[in-house]
Structure 1
Amino acid sequence: MRSQLVLSLVLAVVLACGVQWVRAQEDEFVIESSIYEHTMPLVYFNHLAHMDDYGYDCTDCHHVYQGGENVWSDPDSDPVKCEECHNEPTTKNEKRLPLPKQKLNLKLAYHGNCIGCHRTYNHENNVQAAPITCKGCHTEKP
């Protein structure tokens, strides 16, 4: 009887860990573009960690601006891929583009959104936990 209880507890723990592992695997995706050739390793983004662990909201990253305000508000829909709007493909000297083209540049959009948020997180929490260097995000798959 006691061995059945222990076995049941072990089985429950293993199943719970397995569910969490599958959930984490489904929630990680690769940030990859079809409009330019990548020169750095791809970024593996864990959506769950950013939402649950760090407390970010959908509109912290996903956006549709109208009249200077983010009006995107449907977390149940599939967000439009960034490159649908940010389709300016320059990857060298992109900061020298005219400002309207900079706003549409995919590389600047990703880096501005991610690095800007990481710097804010580090500053507000007095840590250096969120990566702000190239190799901090552009890593081989963990």
Structure 2
Amino acid sequence: MGKRNAVSWLAVCVGLMFAAGTLYAATAVQDVIQMENKAYSKHTKGIATFSHKKHNEEYKIGCGDCHHDADGNALNDLKMGDDVQGCIECHKTPGKMPGKLKKEMKANKASKKEISAKMMEYHAEAIHANCISCHKDYNKKNKTKAAPQSCTKCHPKNK
């Protein structure tokens, strides 16, 4: 192999290493995630901190326990580092469902299923339903109150 070919192959190999490193970095998961979202113009409560690593490694919670498809089915085939959409991609309306809308739906004889489906369009409703229901199940199963379920346990006071 000539000197020119060797240099070319070396350049290709180095380029592939950088490309692989870039792909890995693009899908790296932060150990701790600040649950801040730009869809909210103003946060009314402190920003919750979520320990992704602790939930996955220490608590043994699989990716599909939180990440789901459009029908709410767990994405159990995910593994750490896979690309996933953020909650706001599907639960597009910032905040919670207005109480007035819920009352209006009840007055129009909407079923619990219809009301629940409408609530899941709201980002805060979806996140809270996902987190709090898991925390309630954990506490009940383990006869504890270790997993937080109240606002102040996850949302620090604004300074």
TM-score (norm. length: structure 2):
0.63
Q: Which runs of 4+ in 1 moved over 4 A?
A: none
Structure 1 position 105 matched with structure 2 position 122: yes
> Among the aligned pairs, what percent are the same residue?
33
Query: 2:137 and 2:146 mapped to 1: Cα distance?
Result: 11
**Displacement after TM superposition at 1:90 (Å):** 4.1
Structure-1 residue corresponding to 2:43:
38
Counterpart of 1:106, as a letter, is H
CA 1:131–1:64 in structure 2 vs 1: closer, same or farther (change >3 Å)?
A: same
1:81-112 Cα offsets, whole Å, 9 max, x none, are: 11000002243635728524312110100110
| Residue 71 (structure 1) shift | 4.3
TM-score, L = length of structure 1: 0.70
The answer for the alignment partner of 2:150 in structure 1 is 133
1:119 and 2:136 aligned: yes
Unaligned segments of structure 2, at least 5 residues = 1-29, 106-114
**Aligned-partner residue type, residue 79 of structure 1:** V
- 1:41–1:139 Cα contact (<8 Å) kept: yes
| Residue of structure 2 in register with 1:73 after alignment | 77
Q: Please tell me the root mean square deviation across aligned C-alpha atoms, in Å.
A: 2.4
Structure 1: which amino acid aligns with 2:93?
E
Q: Deviations over 1:84-142 (max 9, x none)?
A: 000022436357285243121101001100111000000001111000000111126xx
Query: CA, structure 1 residues 69+91, in 2 after alignment: closer, same or farther (shift >3 Å)?
Result: closer
- Total equivalences in the alignment: 115
Preserved CA contact (<8 Å) 2:63 2:75: no
Structure 1 counterpart SS, 2:118: helix
Deviation at 1:73, TM superposition (A): 2.7
